Chain A
Amino acid sequence: MSTHPLLEEGADAPAAGSEPTRSAEANLSPPTKLSGPIPWVIAILIALVVIAAAGGLSLRNLAENARADLADAVTVQIIEADPNERDIQAEAASSALSAHPLVTSVRQVPQDELEELLKPWLGEGAASDNVPIPALIDVELSRRASAEELAALQSVLDGALEPLGGGARVDAQSQWLRPVYDALSALQYLALALIILVSMATAAAVWLASRSAFANHRETVEIIHLLGGTDAQVTRVFERPVIREAAFGAFIGLVIGLAAVWLLGRQFASLDSGMVGGGGLDLTDWLIIAAIPVGGVLLAVITGRITIGHALKSML
């Protein structure tokens, strides 16, 4: 009987290196089942994160744009039943405001525009002389005014209109929009909380998937161990399918999430509201959204690595 060439005199033993090549380890990986539930669970969770992130970023932009538009503007309201008196007082107020150093522009809102604004609430009656409509003056300031400066502006108006027997009220637009800003901030925090919760759910899903994969392939793990495989090798072998499943799920989730964001964007765009128009996403926002699936895969890898590491520690 012949002897195996490996055992012949002078035969070289297969030389051992320090670490196997990554491609050799790839051969050991259990087959990935993309048809299983985990990639789709990850896809749904990533889609939710994308939608929440897009919503949060959109709300942030909307609030910032609105603040920028309104922070350096005030509205002056002149309440006078007599239209002629009202016009005279509005002219006087405009003149007084124009001379103020803080004011950059003054625009008296035309009567037609006022009636158009009130039409949704008052109907055709808005144009009737029977309904007295206050005169409105849009005033743009050179910067955001403090409460003292607003009070000073009010004094200027009082001084100009008192001789005419009238009066005016200064409304800082940012003041009456504060509840709106607060609501937008709450929605942003809600989006952030949603992202954190969904990220935790993603980690939990990967944790369960890794544990399940590890349990299903425990025999393989033991064999690799008993043949001299290190924990690091076993971890790398088992994180490959986790990465593949997570990457697949993250990509599908991104596509679903972007589709939902696009549809929502179209719906809101059709509202044709000036405020909603400020909620568009810029390049940085899109880059953040594009980074979500990458973050999801990283989260899956870290979770999978920790899970497998803990499971390996329980083995000899």
Chain B
Amino acid sequence: MGFSRLLTADKSPVMDARPAEIVKFDNVGLRYGTDPEVLSDVSFTLFPGSFYFLTGASGAGKTSLLKLLYLAQRPSRGSIRMFGKDVITSPRSSLPDFRRRLGVVFQNFRLVQHLSAFDNVALPLRLAGTDEGKVQRSVTDMMEWVGLSHRMQALPQTMSGGEQQRVAIARAVIARPQVLIADEPTGNVDPEMALKLLRLFEALNNRVGTTVIVATHDVHLLKKVPESLIMRLNKGRLSDPTGALRYPPAPKPKPKTQKSGASK
């Protein structure tokens, strides 16, 4: 399945045609209150169907940058465009349309505590008004795939950190988002599950055309996805070690919306 088909299936009014860039930050700065900026002059462009790693030491501003990406925070300055529209000047009522195109794996999972694992995973679909029969089928399949079919009715507080992380990842990908944003998504799972989840992200990236951005400080993880691009944050400033984030971009990213012959 290609990116164009995903667009065809989604009738949201936010994007009327395939954009050349899916996310564009231009001189973005972020400060909390009167504190010094945690992000300064951040400019980059994310292209459809690309796989990005966001690295940097603790406190470098990775989570702050991701918060801007998944629209939990407004920047103090600069502009952010998503799906061809300016997010900053868009009315607040249009933000849900943007957010429904994003899948987010939060650093601390952020599962709804009074909902079962099944209902947590079903949340994006139900909020989007998906037919309940399809919700049941999709979520059941997804829970099985992440190895939690026996824990579907479990409440988050009764689940281990690894289980909660898998629920969070399942919730992020269940609606096949156009952009998947993951904050340390493999931090609480064993290496085997970490690899499996990374392969899921790659499959989304390759088969569905989802743009993936994974924040991690695990340098070993970067090597697992050879085609990935790397953004590095250092004290709130973004560097571009691969050169692929320049506009127009360097050879990467190459189009990934073609059909792939085999699963990874």
Contact = CB atoms under 8 A, between A and B. Distances in A.
Check if A and B associate: yes
Nearest to A316: B74
Interface stretch (B40-48, B88-96, B214-222, B237-245): B88-96
B176 A28 contact: no
* Residue from A11, A23, A222, A223 having most chain B Cβ neighbours under 10 A: A223
Given A16-B129, A228-B100, A9 B72 contact: no
Contacts of A229: 96, 127
Nearest to B109: A223
Contacts of B10: 13, 16
Given A13-B9, A15-B9, A220-B112, A28 B123 contact: yes
Contacts, number: 147
B72 A226 contact: yes
A31 interface: yes
A1 B263 contact: yes
B180 to A, nearest CB: 12
Interface in A218-247: 219-220, 222-231, 233
B131 A316 contact: no
B71 A316 contact: yes
B145 A4 contact: yes
Interface residues of B, number: 59
Contacts of B6: 13
Contacts of A230: 93, 96
Given A14-B174, A16-B129, A316-B73, A4 B100 contact: no
Contacts of B95: 316
B150 interface: no
B142 interface: yes
Contacts of A16: 10-12, 100, 125, 128-130, 175
A179 interface: no
Interface stretch (B17-25, B51-59, B202-210, B249-257): B202-210
A146 interface: no
A8 B74 CA distance: 36
B225 to A, nearest CB: 15
B135 interface: yes
- What band does the interface of chain A fall in when counting residues whose beta carbon is under 8 Å from B? 35 or more
Contacts of A228: 96-97, 99-100, 102, 124, 127-128
Interface string A1-36: 111111111111111111111011101101100000
Contact of A14 (B93, B138, B203): B138
Given A28-B112, A220-B112, A227 B127 contact: yes
Nearest to B98: A228
A24 B259 contact: no
A231 to B, nearest CB: 7
Nearest to B207: A7
A222 B129 CA distance: 19
Contacts of B132: 21, 23-24
B154 interface: no
29 contacts: A1-B196, A2-B263, A4-B141, A4-B200, A5-B141, A6-B174, A7-B204, A10-B1, A12-B9, A14-B135, A14-B175, A15-B9, A15-B131, A16-B100, A20-B126, A20-B129, A24-B126, A27-B126, A28-B126, A30-B114, A226-B110, A227-B124, A228-B96, A228-B127, A229-B127, A230-B93, A316-B71, A316-B73, A316-B74
Given A13-B6, A14-B175, A23-B132, 12 more contacts: A4-B173, A6-B142, A13-B9, A14-B134, A18-B129, A24-B126, A27-B119, A223-B112, A226-B99, A228-B102, A228-B124, A229-B127
